[in-house]
Amino acid sequence: MDNITHSIIGFGVGEVVHRSLPDEADTQSQRVRHRLLLVSCALASNFPDLDLFLGKRLPDPLGYLLYHRGHTHTALMALPQALLLAALLWLCWPSARALLRASMPARWGLAASIVAGLALHLLLDFTNSYGVHPWYPFDGRWLYGDMVFIVEPLFWVAFGVPMALVMRWRFARMAGLAGLLAVLVAFAVKGYLGWTSFAALLLIGALCGAAQWRAGTRGRAGLLLALGVGLGFIAVQGVASQAGRQQITAALQGIDPASRVLDVAMTAFPSQPLCWSFVSVESNEAQGNYRLRRGVASIAPTWLEPLACPVGLVEQLPSQALSPGVLQFATASAGLQALRLLKQSNCQVDAWLRFGRAPLLALASGELSDYRFAATPRGNFTTLHFSQALKCPDGVPGWGYPRADLLSP
């Protein structure tokens, strides 16, 4: 997820933890604990992304691809991260340090906030199509949720409205709500968010806000409702993603029964469970090649046509209907033997294949890229210009190969 989403959810969960604990002995201690738990949960919700600073350990693009969502996004590394963050807060925040010495509820609250923040980061990152491998080194496989768009305004609204309403100053409350509304309007105008989704988000914000307002100054009903809405949304997206994958797989098998569908990477649109973009991977061992397809699908085409998905995020290319509700925008193919030989003979390619879920091999230009990101506005950031002349990279993590099913007969 993006760091704005991580932060908003972190602040919201920190507020829930604070309001779930007994009050401190005096008003000043209560305020210090409030700030401490909000800050600690928000920081923990972003802490694993410090792995972005490790990217220079490998040449581009391998550094980013193999170290982002890498070691700091594993369950094993959560404990040292939690201890490091707690130590930094202890050393750099004198009033919090004094409170923690004196208050058991504050100590429990800090522990709960940090643990919740780190766990939520891994959970939210799992929901995207980019992937994580949380059980490394015991299991190096990438896990893909394929459920939630990388920037999901539902979380902003569900948590942002109650958090705005609990602010102490009226001006801050109004500014927070106005800023959130302005962002939603901008998203809708630019075509990143459908107007039906816009209306649904306004309703969700109103419900969470009303619940929090009625709960009073120490209540948490709106925040707990936001948590429930967020978890329910993820569950709905998971069911919709699976339905879309089955629909696309059936369409691909109907077009080419001789090919085997290995994977369909599903990417959601913001706050729209009926619309999905996809990249498929098919293999035909008998013909010695594999095919990648990129397109968009609607799991309810009688209600919503695929091209009616958020226009700002749907590719503006000629399309081919693969089945009712499934459109293809582009396709590419490459040789299985060529990919396998390169993996064995080229250490750069071998390292890259520890990331690539939809590997597009272009032998003529000496490029390897992940087809999931072929349509990004600034170009495909995963593109590797491989060469036998370059030195083999050191420090390649031992992640599993996402396309191990392509790399051997």
Domains of the chain, residue spans: 3-237, 255-407
Q: How many angstroms from the chain centroid is the CA of residue 254?
A: 31
What per-residue confidence (pLDDT) applies to 388? 63
What is the tens place of the pLDDT at every residue in 393-406? Answer: 888 999 999 999 99
**What integer is the mean pLDDT of 359-387?**
92
Q: Looking at residue 394, what is its pLDDT?
A: 86
Distance between CA atoms of residues 360 and 294, nearest Å: 12
Mean pLDDT of 128-155: 95
Nearest Cα neighbor of 38 from 152, 166, 156 is 166
DSSP character at residue 364: T
CB of 43 closer than 8 Å to CB of 15: no
Tokens standing for 253?
Answer: 């098998």
When computed from its CA atoms, the radius of gyration of the chain, rounded to whole angstroms, is: 23
Reported as a single tens digit per residue, the pLDDT across 157-187 is 999 999 999 988 889 889 999 999 999 999 9
Residues 12, 29: contact at Cβ < 8 Å?
no
Decide if pLDDT at 3 tops 90.
yes
How is 366-401 classified by DSSP, letter by letter? TEEEEGGGTT-TT--TT-EE--TTSPPPS-------
Partner residues linked to 359 by β-bridges: 370
Q: Which of 315, 341, 340, 338 is nearest to 328 (CA)?
A: 315
Average pLDDT, the chain: 94
Question: Do 400 and 406 touch, CB atoms closer than 8 A?
Answer: no
The pLDDT tens digits of the residues spanning 127-136 come to 999 999 999 9
How remote is the C-alpha of 276 from its chain's centroid? Answer: 15
Greatest Cα-to-Cα distance within the chain, rounded to the nearest angstrom: 75
| Average pLDDT estimate for 201-216 | 95
Residue 23 has pLDDT above 90, yes or no: yes
63 burial (CB, 10 Å; 0-12 / 13-18 / 19+) is middle
pLDDT higher than 70, residue 389: no
pLDDT at position 358 is: 98
Q: What band does 284 get if pLDDT is binned at 50, 70 and 90?
A: very high
pLDDT at 97 over 90: yes
What is the average pLDDT across 233-241? 97
Distance CA 12, CA 158 (A): 10
**DSSP track, 127-164:** TSSS-B-TTTTT----B----S-SS-HHHHHHHHHHHH
Average pLDDT of 212-233?
94
**H, E, C per residue of 283-323:** EECCCCEEEEEEEEEECCCCCCCHHHCCCCCCCCCCCEEEE
**Where is average pLDDT lowest: 200-204, 275-279, 307-311?**
307-311
pLDDT at residue 55, as a whole number = 74
Say what the pTM is. Answer: 0.93
| Residue 333 · residue 360 · CB < 8 Å | no
Q: What does the pLDDT look like over 256-273, one tens digit per residue?
A: 999 999 999 999 999 999
pLDDT exceeds cutoff 70 at 216: yes
349, pLDDT greater than 80: yes
Residue 302, Cβ density class (10 Å: 0-12 exposed, 13-18 middle, ≥19 buried): exposed
**What one-letter code names the amino acid at 298?**
S
Distances (CA, A) of 116 to 6, 44, 205, 390: 12, 8, 23, 43
Q: Write down the number of H helices and E strands in the chain.
A: 13, 8
As a whole number of angstroms, the distance between CA 370 and CA 384 comes to 9
Report how far residue 368's alpha carbon sits from residue 294's, in angstroms, rounded to the nearest whole number.
Answer: 17
pLDDT of residue 218: 87
Q: What is the pLDDT of residues 55-77, one digit of tens each?
A: 777 888 999 999 999 999 999 99
Helix (H) or strand (E) holding 361: strand 359-362
Angle between helices 153-165 and 170-189 (to 10 degrees): 160
Whether the pLDDT of residue 386 is over 90: the answer is no
